[in-house]
Amino acid sequence: MNALRGPVADAVARARAALADPLLRNGLYIMGTTIVTALAGFVFWIVAARTMATDEVGVGAALVSTMLLVGLLTNLGFGHVFIARLASRAAGAEWSLTVCVGLATTAAASLAAGLLAALLLPLIVEDVRRGTGLELFVLLPLGVTGAAWSFLFDYACIAERTAAPAFWRNGGMAVLRVAVLAAVPLVGAAGNGWVLGAWVGAFAVFSVLGLARTLPRLERDFSPTLRGWRPELAAMRGLLAGHHVINVGGQVAPFVLPVVVSAQLGAEENAHFYATWMVATVIFLIAPSLSNALFAEGAHHPERVEDDLRRAVRQFTVLAIPTAVLLVAAGPLVLRVFGDAYSEDSRALLALLVLTAAADAGQSMSVAVLRVRERLRDAASVTLTSVVVGVGATWVLLPSLGVGGAAIGLGIGRLLGLVLGVRAIRRGALAPALVPARAAVET
């Protein structure tokens, strides 16, 4: 036992030293938030399936999917604008104004888009038209606003290099959603609105807590204010367009690829692709989380961005290698839950997706550096070119290579994005970072 104490103590000390690095700590909390949200969503739908009729679950799923998609679109890029801008804002009125303008603008866009979605969705999905009433026009706009606000609360925490409050806030929302849904049979309630209502209620409670507790805990003297909102919104307008385009280019592939696979190979092959993609998502969470943390560090200390980039690459390597080994070894066993055919047909696809994660990480981190230097046009060119080439290559390769063509096509796009990102960084290597650091530099 005594012989083990030295190595164990050394390992604990090294772990504590690593977690003292805000880049790694922030990145781990961002990853944790995504994982907890995904697992809680899995539990939520299990509870829904066991407590509600199948048609009610189906309608609820359509409503929640619409709510989250519209909420993603109506955050308007404010999340990354928070990272870029909050570091240079003085504590108190300046910092509070930036956050409040983001929340207010997002709320206006979300309420309008949510109401439009409530009008259009019943025309597209017949079951929604039959199974919902006037509550749709109240719950859906509020839910879209709550989803968009949740995103902004998270990014305010990331911007201040402390994503821990976002982790606990999302965990609390997940527990509350499941508790509300589990209580439905106990109160004798029924109807499609309860699935959406559970999400909207959780968003409402934690939006209030976000204003009252989360933002004040960031120690930037937050207080609600919109005084001077016009010039502040004008100052952010250019950043909004750039960051939103970058986000769309970087995030659209997972939504488009299943459609392309289904169109080229059919629904059965797409089922194999989608199940394998969900398993492989574990390794694709690492780089975006570290990249957002890298962007936050760079916004606070732009002069150290190259050193931060090297640390981020090392951290990705340490986290990704064991994850990749575990996925290749155990992934087929996990896929067997969906059926033996999934495990047998998707083994090679899983390995190809794991390899693609390396190029994806390189592209994500290069885009983070370009964001720090406010090279938004270059960053948008990287993500948009990557997704267009990746989807195009997938379309061409699928007929001859099968579902593996989706992984190879995605990899080609991401590898091209990495090359373009590195070239853009080197082209501006001698240029100073444009994002101003705080006057009082923090360590």
- Note the pLDDT tens digit of each residue in 79-133: 888 988 888 899 999 999 999 999 999 999 999 999 998 888 777 666 555 555 6
Cβ neighbours of residue 214 under 8 Å, at least 6 residues apart? 153, 156, 157, 165, 166, 169
Between 211 and 239, name the one with better pLDDT. 211
Same domain as 230, residue 272: no
pLDDT score, position 436:
40
Q: Residue 403: inside a domain, yes or no?
A: yes
Query: Same domain, yes or no, for 103 and 205?
Result: yes
Give DSSP secondary structure letters for 29-46: HHHHHHHHHHHHHHHHHH
DSSP class per residue in 392-432: HHHHHHHHHHTTHHHHHHHHHHHHHHHHHHHHHHHHTTTSP
Q: pLDDT by residue (tens digit) across 268-285? A: 777 778 778 878 888 888
Question: Do 100 and 232 sit in the same domain of this protein?
Answer: yes
Residues 280 and 320 occupy one common structural domain: yes
Alpha helix locations (H) across 160-228? 164-183, 193-209
Q: Is residue 12 part of a domain?
A: no
Boundary of a domain, candidates 193, 210, 240: 240
In a domain, 7, yes or no: no
pLDDT at 245 over 60: yes
Residue 69 CB contacts under 8 Å (≥ 6 apart), including other chains: none
How far is 164 from 158, CA to CA, in rounded Å?
Answer: 9
What lies within 8 Å, CB to CB, of 111 at 6+ separation is 141, 142, 144, 145
Helix (H, G, I), strand (E, B) or coil at 380: helix
Query: Where among 208, 240, 272 does a domain terminate?
Result: 240
Which pLDDT value is given to residue 100?
Answer: 95
Are 275 and 416 members of one domain?
yes
Are residues 295 and 212 located together in one domain of the fold? no
Residue 60 near residue 192, CB atoms below 8 Å: yes
C-beta atoms surrounding 19 within 10 Å: 11
Handedness of CA 291, 292, 297, 301 (dihedral sign): positive
Q: Which two tokens stand for residue 221?
A: 């003297």
Same domain, 296 and 155: no
Instruction: Work out the percent of the chain whose per-residue pLDDT is above 70.
Output: 84
Domain membership flag for residue 443:
no
User: pLDDT (tens digit, 9 = 90+) per residue, 320-372?
Assistant: 999 999 988 888 787 776 666 666 667 788 889 999 999 999 999 999 999 99
Is 439 inside any structural domain? no
Q: Are 192 and 131 in contact (CB under 8 A)?
A: yes
Tell me if 184 is assigned to some domain.
Answer: yes
- Other Cβ atoms closer than 10 A to 122: 16
Helix, strand, coil shares of the chain as percentages rounded to 5?
Answer: 85, 0, 15
The Cα–Cα gap between 17 and 39 comes to 29
User: Are 243 and 182 a contacting pair, CB within 8 Å?
Assistant: no
Contact 365, 291 (CB under 8 A): yes
Helices and strands, counts by H and E, the chain: 18, 0
* Assigned domain for 8 exists: no
Q: Which domain holds residue 421?
A: 252-427
One domain for residues 341 and 267 = yes
- Terminal Cα-to-Cα distance of the chain (whole angstroms): 38
| Whether 233 and 263 share a structural domain | no
Mean pLDDT over the full length of the chain: 82
Choose one of 218, 240, 262: the last residue of a domain: 240
Tokens of 183: 């209580």
**Residue 329 burial (10 A CB sphere; 0-12, 13-18, 19+):** exposed
Say if residues 427 and 375 touch (Cβ distance below 8 Å): no
Examine the pLDDT at 18 and tell me if it is beyond 60.
no
Residue 370's CB is within 10 A of a number of other CB atoms, namely 25
**How many structural domains comprise the chain?**
2
Average pLDDT over residues 40-69: 74
| Rounded-to-integer distance, Cα 386 and Cα 249, Å | 8
Q: Looking at residue 189, what is its pLDDT?
A: 57
Q: What is the pLDDT of residue 431?
A: 43
3-class secondary-structure state, position 77: coil
Residue 269 CB coordination number (10 Å): 17
Same domain, 416 and 319: yes
pLDDT in tens, 154-169: 989 988 888 888 889 9
pLDDT, position 93: 92
- The pLDDT of 8-29, averaged and rounded, is 65
Q: Say if residue 215 is in the same domain as residue 272.
A: no
Q: Exposed, middle or buried: residue 419 (CB in 10 Å: 0-12, 13-18, 19+)?
A: middle
**How large is the average pLDDT for residues 73-84?**
85
Q: Length of the chain in residues, anyone? A: 443
> Which one has a higher pLDDT value, 260 or 437?
260
What is the number of other CB atoms lying within 10 angstroms of the CB of residue 271? Answer: 20
User: Is 190 found in the same domain as 263?
Assistant: no
Residue 87 in any domain: the answer is: yes
Residue 67's nearest CA partner among 173, 142, 174 is: 142
Neighbours of 307 (CB within 10 A): 12
